Amino acid sequence: MSRESAIGGNAGTWRAVTALSFLVPAIALAHVGQGDVGGGFIAGVEHPIFGFDHVVAMVAVGIWGAVLGPPAIWVLPVTFPLVMAFGGVLGGMSVPIPGIEIGIAVSAIVLGCMVAFAARPPLWVGAVLVGLFAIFHGYAHGAELPGSANAIAYAVGFVVATGSLHAFGILLGVANRWRVGKKLLRACGAFIAVCGIYFLVAHFIAA
């Protein structure tokens, strides 16, 4: 790899991480209103972090974006939380959307496969795919909004957590520059897909 391409890759990675950080103040400027702001923010952060089904899918988005490189390295991780916030509104309003848990499990399967097979669809296809899955994840977050929590603070919390998981995935995706790293990332994608299959099977067993 040339020195110029390495520099370009580093710049793309940091642009993606920086873009994610801009999501936080943009939402935080909104009027927070009434309710438990601090507790709402903490609850929002905890919901995706302590939900392994959310973690693997969000990390997969970051890895996939990093593997695809610019502009996907920032388009995918920014699209996900933006659309996820919309899904959160739908969940908070209890708008009926069937198959939320199935959609979350399938997101891990599909995104894991995208990483495992180093799939390179057109950017718009990747963005639509990521946005579609983000609705399911956001809906789950919104539907589990604690009764006493401030909705805006809660939303900021799960967007911050999601952006952090995407950033972690992007940093992992840097390993794609090396032959061994490519293999490790593909193995990671396969693991994420297997986790998704487990979530899906567990859902139907519990149903």
The three-state DSSP-derived secondary structure of the chain is: CCHHHHHHHHHHHHHHHHHHHHHHHHHHCCCCCCCEHHHHHHHHHHHHHCCHHHHHHHHHHHHHHHHHCCCHHHHHHHHHHHHHHHHHHHHHCCCCCCCHHHHHHHHHHHHHHHHHCCCCCCHHHHHHHHHHHHHHHHHHHHHCCCCCECHHHHHHHHHHHHHHHHHHHHHHHHHHHCHHHHHHHHHHHHHHHHHHHHHHHHHHHHC
Q: What's the confidence (pLDDT) of residue 31?
A: 34
**pLDDT higher than threshold 60 for residue 33:** no
Residue 19 pLDDT > 80: no
- Whether the pLDDT of residue 35 is over 70: the answer is no
Q: Give the model confidence (pLDDT) of 135-158 as tens digits.
A: 999 999 999 988 777 888 999 999
Mean pLDDT of 181-203: 97
Mean pLDDT across 124-133: 97
Q: What pLDDT was estimated at residue 10?
A: 53
- Name the average pLDDT for the chain: 86
* pLDDT score recorded for residue 15: 52
**Is the model's pLDDT at 32 over the cut of 50?**
no
- Per-residue pLDDT tens digits for 78-128: 999 999 999 999 999 999 999 999 999 999 999 999 999 999 999 999 999
Taking the model in full, what pTM does it have?
0.82
Write down the pLDDT at residue 30. Answer: 34
